[in-house]
Structure formats: C-alpha cells, structure tokens
Structure 1
C-alpha cells in the first residue's frame, strides 16, 4: 500500500473518530436540552392551566373546566392532560397517542426520551380544589432532535469530503517528490544513473532527494571507472605483451562468427623457423627486437591490404593472418608482397630463409582445429618449396561436403533424431550445490558414428533448420525439468536466427506461460559475439523472457566481443566468462584484475558471474574468493 493511501486512511480514521465522538456528544446535549425544555414547557402549561381553572373549581361539573383543558390539549403538543379534585376524583382525562411523522423508528429506539410530566395545584381561596397533570408529547422533541442530528451529520459529511479532497491534493503535492525518488531508485537499479533536477521544498524529503542524487552520481562514476578499467585490462589481455598483436584466443573468437555465418576467409600460419638458430646467436633483447619488428611488418601488411586482414601471435615463433576473402589470387598477391618484406628483414639478421607460410581456406563445415591442422600441413609443404616461401592448400570439395551435411541435418531435425545430454555442471560457490547444467545434443550419422556438433549447428543455421532444432531441444529440456523435479537450472543455447524468429517467440511465450515452474529453471544461453552483432534484437528477446519468468545468460564474455556498457543495457541474469579467463587467474595479475572488475560491475547490476571449465584447484579457490556465483570444472 502506498504512503499516500496509508496517510489518507489514517487521517480519515482520526477524522471519523473525532467526528463520531463530537457527533455523539452534540446529539446527547441536544437531547438533554430538549428534555429540559419539554419539562419546563409542561410545568408552565400546568401552572397556567391551574390558575385559569381556579375560579371554576367551586363547581367540579362546570363544562368550562372541560372546555379549557380541551382547548389547550387540542394544540397537539401534549400526550395527556388530567384534572382531579381534592378527593382525587378524576374530572378531566384527555389522552393522545398521536405520533409525529418524519422520525424513523430506529432513531427513537436508539435515543429514548422520557415524557416530561408536570403538575400544578388548583386553589379556591386558601383551599386546595384539585390538581392538574400535564404530559408533553415527546414526538416534537424527537422531530427537533432528528432534524438537528441530520443537519449536523450532513454538515460534517460535507466538511469531511472537502477535507479529504484538500488532503488528497496536499498529499499529492507533498509526496510527489517521493515518487521521483522512487523512480530514481528504480532507474539506478536498472543501471541508469540519473538525478532529480527539481528538488522538493520539504526539508526532509529534499535531503533524501539530494542524497539519492549524490549516490547516483557516485555509482555512475564508479561504474564508469570500472568500465574504463575493464576495457583497458580486457584489451591488454587480448594482446601479446611483446608484439602488441592479438593472441590465439582472439583468433578463435574471430573464427566463430565466420563459421556461423559461412564467411569466406583464408588463414595464413606463419612460423619463424630460423628462430631457434637466432636464439643461439643473439641475446634476448635482440630476439625480442626481431619479434617486435616482424609483428610490425605483419601489422603494416594488414593495414595496407584491400580486404580485411588481422594479424595474431599464437606463441613463440608462430604467427597468423586471418584474410577475409575467398579470392586465392588476392591472397597470393598479399603473400608475395609479405615474402619480399620478410626477406629484407632476414638479410639484416643474415638469415635469408627466415619464415615459411602455410595457408588454408576456411571450410564452413569444418572447425577451428581442422582449419589450423590444414594450415600446419600447408606450412610443411612450404618448407619444401624454398626460402620464405608459402603454400596454399587446395580447398576441399566444400559444395559436396555441404550437400552431405544438409541431408544429414534435415533428416535428423525433422525426425528429432538426436539426444540431449546435460554437461558442464556448474556448482554454486556459496553452497557447493549444483547451480546449473548445460543442454548439449549428440547426433549420429547413418553409420552410427558421432557427428561433430560445430558443423552440424552451422549447417542448420545456414539452411534455417536451427529454429526447429532449438524448439525441439527446449521441449525436451522442459520435459526433463518436469519429470525430474529438478532444483537446479538448465542452460539452453539459442542462435541469432532463432532469437529473431517471430513465430518462435510466440511459441516460446505460450510454452513458458503453460509451464511457469519450468520457466524459472530455464536459462537461455546467448553467445557474446552473436549478441554484439544485433544488440537491439537480443535486448527485446531478453525483455520478453524476463516478462515470462525465464532467465538469460551471456556466455564466452570478454570485452572484445561485448562491452560492459552493452551488458548494462541488456541486463542478463548470468554472465559466463570466456574459458581462457578463468584458467590461470591465480597466476596472472592481469586476469585477476579483469575478472575482479567484471565481478564488481556485475554485483552493482545484480548479475551473477560464472566461470567455465576451471582446471586447477588454485584457480577455483581464487574465483570463489572473488565473489563469483559459481564455476564448472
């Protein structure tokens, strides 16, 4: 109940209590007054009638006595007039049971009034001739009392309504700033650190509003500082310390959207095969200088290329170029130019045969491992060609592979010929209990052999079967939750095509409304790099899932794919760090600071942070001490 309603009810109750007491006292006083007036009136009438009858009481049978009593009685204000002589013989008895109209019976029953009776002696000379008794009709007193009570009630009611109206207006004026403060609190909880510009005039509320403004700005400053720190640390984690080139983990991340979107690209694996000999001839400073100069050469080649080219340093003497083009001629031109530059660099160190380059074309039904394996095989062929040479491995029959994969994917999805397994058990650091599992499918070909899931998902995405596949997996997961009465959550991976599909969204809405218990344990897992490509679509999807009671996790999080600012806009329930970030965090100060910063930002936004596939016990305990929600082993 709102504060305005509470105050309104409280003040109304106080008004009602005061009014009730005042009304009861007022009616009681009026009643006492009317009773006193009735008694006085009865006494006056009795005295006056006694004096008037005194000359006629010498003859009790005189008709004037009857006439005078009747004349007064007929006025209608009296219930009874009796006249008796000195021997108490009744001379006149006039009685009326007339009721006064307009007074309800319940009023008379609730406020009983005694009939005022008065008497007066009638004298003839110095002798007592008789006694007159006068009883006033209480109906007239009831009528006046009822009219007074009605007037008091209606005036009080009108005053109450006017007071309530004024009270509502005043409360709205007074409590309006509290609504702004409430709005600001909600905005802060949603990650929007705004301020109240028009401060309220009430001193106490003004102080609260000013404090809220200060808190909002401090949190905003802290978040901005953490985000800057996170971006800086994230960038340093992604790049090699010596050369400044991106690491192998970035290369693997860059390949994922290319596989998912069936992009065209070549990977050139570059190895300084003469490095082992140079190490024997030069000191470490000279070797570091060589590697740095070689990295600048690769960066210059990438910057000068007409197509997107990105250089990487994997480790030691192994480098790579990701060339986003399907045109082998363009790749050859780039490598010929690069070979010339490498030869010039080699001459400075008296090594005419400095490197060899192996090139493989990206196969959309392949994987990062198979692509690098092909590049390594091409590198071995380049070593046989000559100094600073390159070899481009002939592409497989990609069209034939895709046709075979398409047939397998359509057959499996249409017949639901796949099984759902639950892997990646994530334990909660706080309790040690199972927090979450991840749904994972296994597919077998016609010969009963396990199929690589990466190419299977990629082909399903390419030919729009991924929506049906995701629906089938969700249905099996919901049945698993119901039948197993699970207490932990199940993460289900969704593709971009599925998230964008309007029919799927409508189907999911119906499913979650029919299964509210299962909805609470479903966690829709979204890849960070996919979210970054269409933030608005994913923001709408996350908002819909939250409205239906479901939850969302962004997995493989690192700042290269998704910024902290974007996470603030999306407000997922979970963030799962990229696998590389959780491993080695105990020994790497950079990783430690990065993960701790992610945790600090997530805590302010009420987001749980998880780690994936943590190998060592030391890393596991370090992540636990940082305050993360859980991790898988």
Structure 2
C-alpha cells in the first residue's frame, strides 16, 4: 500500500474512532437525560394528580375522579394510570400500549427505556382513600432519542465525507514531491532522465529532492559521456576525418554484415584521380575541400536508398554499398556519380581523368574479399578505359528476376499469402529464452526467395507498408495460437516514415490486444537516422515492445536514441563478427553496449556462430545473443 493510502486510511480511521466515541458518549448522556426526565415527570404527575383527586375521593365522586384521570392520560405521555378506590373496592385503569410513531421497530426493540413508574397512597387526614400508580410511556423518549441521534449521525457522516475529500486534496498536495521522487527513481532505474523535480517548501522533502536532482543530473552526464565515448571510439576506428565518411575498416565490416544478412545490392568503387593533380597544383587544403564536397554529394545521392554504406577507402577512392542489383539502374547511377563529381571541378586540365566507377553486384556465394576484389577489378578496367567509364561486374544468377518481375512476385505473394515463416530464438547467457525473431521468405512452385533478395525491391516500389501490416497480422495470429510464443517482427524503413502505417498498426494491435504483450517490433537504425522526431509520438503510444535492429551501423545515432527508450537493441553484425579476429579492439563494442544500457535497453549480439564467440561476448556487456548456434526453425 502506498504512503498516500496509508496516511489517508490512518487519518480516516482516527476520525471514525473519534466520531464513534463522541457519538457513543452523546448517545449515552441523551438516553440518561431522557430516562431521568421521564422519571421526574412521572413523580410530579403522581403528586399533582393525587392532589387533584383527593376532593373527589373524599366525596366518593367516582365520575369526577375518572374525568381528572382522563384529562391527564389523554396527553399520551403515560402508558398506564391506575387508581384503587379503597372504600368502594373499585379500580380506575387507563392504559396506552401503542408503539411510538416515527421510530423504527429495531430501535424500540433495543430496550433502551422501560418506562418510569411511581405509586402514592392518597389520604384524607388519617384515612386512606386510594392508591394511585402512574407508569410513563417510553415512546416519547424513544422518539426524541431517535431524532436527536439521527441528526447527529447525519452531520457526522457529512463531516466525515467532507474531511475525506479535504484529506485527499491535502495529502496529494503535500505528498506530490514524494510522488515525483518515485517517478524519478523509476526513470533513473531504467537509465532515463527527465526534468528536475520542483523543490518543495517542506524542509525534509526539500533536502531529498535536491539530492535526487543532483544525482539524476550527474548520472545523466555520466551516461551521456558513455555515449560520447562510444562515438569517439567509433570515429577513431571507423571514421575518416577528412571526408566525414567511414573508412576502409567500416566499409569492410558493413560488407560482411550485408553478405551475412543476405541483403542484395552492389559495391560501387569511385576513383577520383583528379584529386592527385589538385593536390600538386593547389595544395592539400584545396584537395581536402574537394574531398568534403564529393562526400557531401555522394551522401545526398545515397539518401534515396533505405540502407547504404559510404566510405573513403584511400586518398582518391570512395566506396558505396547500396541495395541495388539491376544493371541498368546501376549504370545510370554511375553516370550520375561521374556527372556530380565533374560539376565540382572548375576548368579541369584533363577532363578524362576526373573520375571512374567500378561496380560489383553481390552474388549469393560471395564473401567480403571476393566481393571487394571483383569491385576493384571493375574499377581497374574503368581506369584503363578512362573518360568516366563505368564497369559493372555482374553474373546472372539462377532465379534472378528483373525489377518488374520482382514487383509482380511481391504483389502476388501479398495477395495470395505466399510467405513462409520461420523463427530464430534469442537467448540470454543463462539460457533463458527472450523471444524469437520472425524470418520470412516467398515460396513459389519454382523457387524460395529469402527476404534479403526481395526487401530492396519492397523499398524501391514502396510496398513496405503493405508487407509489414501483412506480416504483423500473421505474427499476431501465431501468438494467439501459441500462448508460449514471443515474436519479434522486423519493420521496413519505408513503413517507419509513414504516419498512416502507425495508425493502421494501432488499429491492428487493438484487435489483438490480448497478445500484444508478446509482440516485439524491430525498427532499423536507419529509420532513426533520417526521421527520429517523426517516430517519437508513435513509439511513445505503441501497444507493443520495440527494439532497434543493426544498432551501431550509422554514425551519430548512438547519442540520439536515449529519449526514445527502446526495450532492446540488436548489435550490427559488422561489429560482433570481428570479435574472434586477432588484435581485435573490443573497446568500441563494449562502449556501444554501455551506451545501450544507459538507455535502459538490453543488448543482443547477432549472427553468433560458435561457442567461442559466446565466451568473448559475455565479457563485453552483451546481454543476449542469437545466431546459428541456435538455427532457425519453421513456424507451423
């Protein structure tokens, strides 16, 4: 029970005890007073009635005596008046046995009043004329006691309710600082820091609030420093300071991640040979300015793709990794790259040596070294041809489809539900199952197409919203069938940018509210890189838990996710796959994990393949893992 309720209940109980005590005392005193008043009235009545009857008894006027008794008895205050005429050996009796009006029977049955009784002998000199007995009727006493106590009880109840309301208002006002402290403590526990608590006027609470605010401020600075440290380590390991792009190590790690994920696309190498001439003729300052300008234009060019990697590999070479495998579109992209770079050069000395482009389309059997070797061979061929040549290394694969064929396949799969579902478990290092990540593939009579092969086309043709809603609905149905299941569903970047998608998702989750607690939604980190502010509201009202996929892939994102509070982050495979390499510097990965913990999020390593990797990851602040140590299995 909360302190607020304890104080409220305690004060109300004390008030109730006070009410009951005062009421009992008042009830007892009123009852004694009414009983004593009735007894006094009966004694006085006997005395006065005896004096009035004596003249009639002396003359044996029975009729006159009865008239006097009737006059007294008709007032209704007496239950019985009895006169024994000793001389005539007769009795005059008047009785009133009716129950009092306006008083409930249960109250009368309490037996609070028994009726006062008094008896006197009427005499004339030494002669005894009769015996007069009067018994008071308790009805009037019951009526007065009932009316008085009912009114008193009503006032007490009204006052009790009034005090109850005032106590609620007073305690809420007085205990508001404690409530703010409680909320702030919970936020600190989850590594979230809000605004400082307003300092109250109460001395004791003031000191506590100041201490909490001071501690929260220091922890916020500390966690921000951790995120900044992760960014510094990342920049040191993967950042090219001149261009502001990634370096060769970054590009290699991203290539490994793309190939492991089965994401199709192409590697594009861009050689800007005129940078060497610019350095010789105008100096390194002009060269560096040109490098920055080229990097800016290439970055803008890449923003049309949902996912990409962009790096500067050497003094004259840039590299792009894009989710595009169509040769015709890649050729147009290469021409656009050459044109943009040429436009940056003013009065070129030799227009043939400005830039050349070499490309290699990712094949299913590629590894990182093979892919980069093929791209480098294409670049060398382009150099030999000169004049902005574009060479594309590409081999037609089995089941390779054209762009429009891909679109038709995806739309058919959505219409006929040709998606095959499988899942892979996520465990913590104690062997406890956290959830299972949902994988999708399109199965036709001819072939099975993995998600990595068709998701780039989903983004290109803006079908992500339809796909995500379809897969989430199927996942919700699976959760309804299997109550032990917890599923994580990946969302596309296109969906994350659509306000209409979040509205439809809310409606869908409302229809399956009983299973929403077991659904996890994974957003790509790139969605936050391009539209974080648009995601604050929908994620804040989301009825399901959510996480960030490919965490750590993009620069400058680590420090931006703190106020969004993801439940978990899945580390990009490009960083976790290198932990078994010799001379691997694990400082960056550890810093990324600490940065995630500062947001209150679990860290999950992906693509874990061996037990040796698990042992290394345990010491790097990683909370859980998934990978081929626990292979995917088909969902029925």
Class of the TM-score when normalised by the shorter of the 2 chains: 0.7 to 0.9
TM-score, with length taken from structure 2: 0.75
Residue 480 of structure 1, CA deviation: 4.5
**Compared with structure 1, are the counterparts of its residues 481 and 602 closer, same or farther at alpha carbon in structure 2 (3 Å cutoff)?**
same
Counterpart in the other structure of 2:47: 47
Q: Match for residue 354 of structure 1?
A: none
User: For residue 144 of structure 1, what is the aligned residue in structure 2?
Assistant: 144
Determine the C-alpha separation between the residues in 2 that align with 1:62 and 1:241. 132
Q: Which residue does the alignment assign to 2:631?
A: none
Secondary structure, aligned partner of 2:376: helix
Q: 2:459 aligns with which of 455, 458, 461?
A: 461
> Do structure 1's residue 191 and structure 2's residue 166 form an aligned pair?
no
Partner of 1:267: 269
Work out the number of aligned pairs and report it: 581
Unaligned residue ranges in structure 2 (runs of 5+): 259-263, 274-282, 300-309, 321-332, 628-636
Matched, 1:431 2:431: yes
**Cα 1:300–1:84, aligned 2, differ >3 Å: closer, same or farther?**
closer
Counterpart in the other structure of 1:625: 619
Match of 1:597 in 2: 591
The change in CA–CA distance for 1:62 and 1:630 in structure 2 (over 3 A counts) is closer
CA distance in 2, matches of 1:141, 1:424: 84
Q: Structure 1 pair 522/368, CA: closer, same or farther in 2 (3 Å)?
A: farther
Say which structure, 1 or 2, has more relative contact order (CA 8 Å, 6+ apart): 2
Residues 615 and 626 of structure 1: CA distance in aligned 2, closer, same or farther (over 3 Å): same
Is the contact between residue 378 and residue 392 of structure 2 (CA under 8 Å) also seen in structure 1?
Answer: no
Deviation, structure 1 residue 607: 1.0
Root-mean-square deviation (Å): 4.8
Return closer, same or farther for 1:442/1:365 CA change in 2, 3 Å cut-off. Answer: same
Residue in structure 1 matched with residue 327 of structure 2 by the alignment: none
Q: Kindly tell me: are residues 242 and 593 of structure 1, through their superposed partners in 2, closer, same or farther at Cα, counting changes over 3 Å?
A: farther
Secondary structure of 2:132's match?
Answer: strand
Write out the 4+ residue segments of structure 1 that deviate beyond 6 Å after TM superposition.
Answer: 240-245, 252-257, 262-265, 294-298, 332-340, 362-371, 382-385, 586-590
Name the structure 2 match of 1:514.
511
Aligned to 2:278: none
Counterpart of 2:216?
A: 216
Match of 1:303 in 2: 292
Whether the 8 Å CA contact 2:602–2:623 is kept in 1: the answer is yes
The Cα of 1:609 is off from its aligned counterpart by 0.7
Structure 1 residue 510: deviation in Å? Answer: 3.8
Asked if residue 558 in structure 1 is aligned to residue 552 in structure 2, the reply is: yes
Work out the CA distance in 1 between the residues paired with 2:317 and 2:129. 143
Change (3 A) 1:245 1:437: closer
**1:11 and 2:11 are equivalent in the alignment:** yes
Q: 1:589 to 1:44 in 2, by over 3 A?
A: farther
1:201 and 2:190 correspond: no
Secondary structure of residue in 2 paired with 1:121:
strand
The equivalent position to 2:493 in structure 1, one of 493, 496, 502, is 496
Matches within 5 A, 1:76-225: 76-86=76-86, 89-97=89-97, 101-185=101-185, 188=188, 189=190, 191-197=192-198, 199-225=199-225
Please give the TM-score of this superposition, normalised by the length of structure 1: 0.76
Query: Does structure 1 conserve the Cα–Cα contact (< 8 Å) formed by 2:122 and 2:128?
Result: yes
| Mapped contact 1:19–1:156 kept (Cα < 8 A) | yes
Contact 1:381 1:391 in 2 (8 A): no
1:302–1:309: 8 Å Cα contact kept in structure 2? no
* Correspondence for 1:543: 540
Distance in 1 of aligned mates of 2:533 and 2:54: 110
The question of whether the paired residues in 2 share the 8 Å contact of 1:194 and 1:217 is answered with no
List runs of 5+ in structure 1 lacking aligned partners: 272-293, 344-356
2:600 to 599, 606, 615: 606
Is the CA contact 1:358–1:391 (under 8 Å) kept in the aligned structure 2? yes
Deviation at 1:19, TM superposition (A): 1.8
Cα 1:451/1:248, change in 2 over 3 Å? farther
Equivalence for 1:527: 524
Within 1, Cα distance between the matches of 2:169 and 2:245? 66
User: In 2, distance between residues paired with 1:418 and 1:264?
Assistant: 27
* 1:538 CA drift (Å): 3.2
SS in 1 for 2:402: helix
